[in-house]
Amino acid sequence: MRPEPEHLRCPDCGHDGLRWPAGADALDCAGCATEWSVVDGLPKLYRDAALGRVDRMMRRIYDGLPSLHDPLVRVALPLLQGRHENEHAVREAALDRLRLDGLAAPADRPLRVLEVGVGTGANLPRLRARLPAAPVEVWGLDYSIGMLRRCRRRCRRHPSLGQTRLLLGDAHALPFADHFFDRVFHIGAINGFEDPAAALAEMARVARPGTPIVVVDERLDPSRDTGLLRRLGFRAVTFYDPAPACPRDAVPAGAADVRDEQISRCFYCLSFRTPG
């Protein structure tokens, strides 16, 4: 589903509410008159030059081989972690930390959930299954058009995902107004971000006060014995980062309930709440 431009913020000037003129193939900002392109029906709200070196490299990989991503994840995780710590277990553990039970929509608007780095949308069916029957808007943002095309196909195949709003954006400059979302989460890319502190600050900015924010990425469990083959496999998967670690020190000042957990042999979960 195409996101409504009035819900978007200009990444250049911070003006809330873009416009999609009738018949136009771009959005424009009333604040600074900047035009933002639309790629294959998806608003592109970031500058290529703003991406860091690793982000540009990873985007080339994701755009070039998006169809291989999900099969590789399904095969690689049991090999690295053991069959009981497969893809399903990791994703479910991450969504547990979002605390979706009992979440209710406000009287004047739908619930809003954002996945930063939505990729092919592998988390979306699991997320939808946990959300209440109340009106809900699910938003997915990614910098890879290849991954978002795969995600859009997934959404079209699953009726419950048909209302998902997708757009191209950069986690370091989220194109949304302050305090827009009731839940924000990210799985699997922050270790390669140019500035994890900026990305976490942006996730906190767009979340409503008291909102749980959940971030998951790779880190070997230091409390468990890891054999040479697993270490080599992990190093191959995390080739873009010489020392994968949880960015706990980058959590915004004033955050509450900060937790750094190891949810599997190869993944940490960083969670915190925005100031209430």
The pLDDT of residue 180 is: 96
Average pLDDT (61-71) is 91
Whether residues 126 and 234 fall in one domain: yes
Whether residues 137 and 235 fall in one domain: yes
> Pick from 270, 273, 268, 269: which is nearest to 255 by CA?
273
Whether residues 69 and 33 fall in one domain: no
Whether residues 242 and 122 fall in one domain: yes
In the block, tokens 């029906």 appear at: 41
Whether residues 198 and 101 fall in one domain: yes
State how far the Cα of 20 lies from the Cα of 35, in Å rounded to an integer: 10
pLDDT bracket for residue 276 (50, 70, 90): confident
In the block, tokens 């509450």 appear at: 256
What pLDDT digit, counting tens, does each position of 142-182 carry? 999 999 999 999 999 988 887 899 999 999 999 999 999 99
The pLDDT of residue 174 is: 98
Domain with residue 248: its CATH number is: 3.40.50.150
Whether residues 50 and 31 fall in one domain: no
Total number of domains in the chain: 2
The pLDDT of residue 162 is: 77
Whether residues 107 and 192 fall in one domain: yes
Average pLDDT, whole number, for the chain?
Answer: 93
Q: Cα-flanking dihedrals φ and ψ of residue 151, to 5°?
A: -65, -40
Whether residues 23 and 86 fall in one domain: no
Q: What is the DSSP letter of 172?
A: T
Whether residues 65 and 32 fall in one domain: no
Query: Is 211:70 a contact under the CB 8 Å cutoff?
Result: no
Token pair for 273: 């709440």
What pLDDT digit, counting tens, does each position of 17-55 carry? 999 887 778 999 999 999 999 999 999 999 999 999 999
Query: Is 170:186 a contact under the CB 8 Å cutoff?
Result: no
Average pLDDT (191-196) is 94
pLDDT bracket for residue 79 (50, 70, 90): confident
Per-residue burial over 153-169, b = 16 or more CB atoms within 10 Å of its CB, e = otherwise: ebbeeeeebeebbbbbb
Whether residues 172 and 149 fall in one domain: yes
Whether residues 30 and 66 fall in one domain: no
Of all residues in the chain, the percent with pLDDT exceeding 90 is 75
Query: Is 36:45 a contact under the CB 8 Å cutoff?
Result: yes
The pLDDT of residue 133 is: 80
In the block, tokens 């195949």 appear at: 157
Whether residues 101 and 136 fall in one domain: yes
Token pair for 100: 């979706």
Q: Cα-flanking dihedrals φ and ψ of residue 54, to 5°?
A: -70, -40
What pLDDT digit, counting tens, does each position of 241-267 carry? 999 999 999 999 999 999 999 999 999
Token pair for 236: 């191959």
Residue ranges making up the domain that contains 10: 1-37
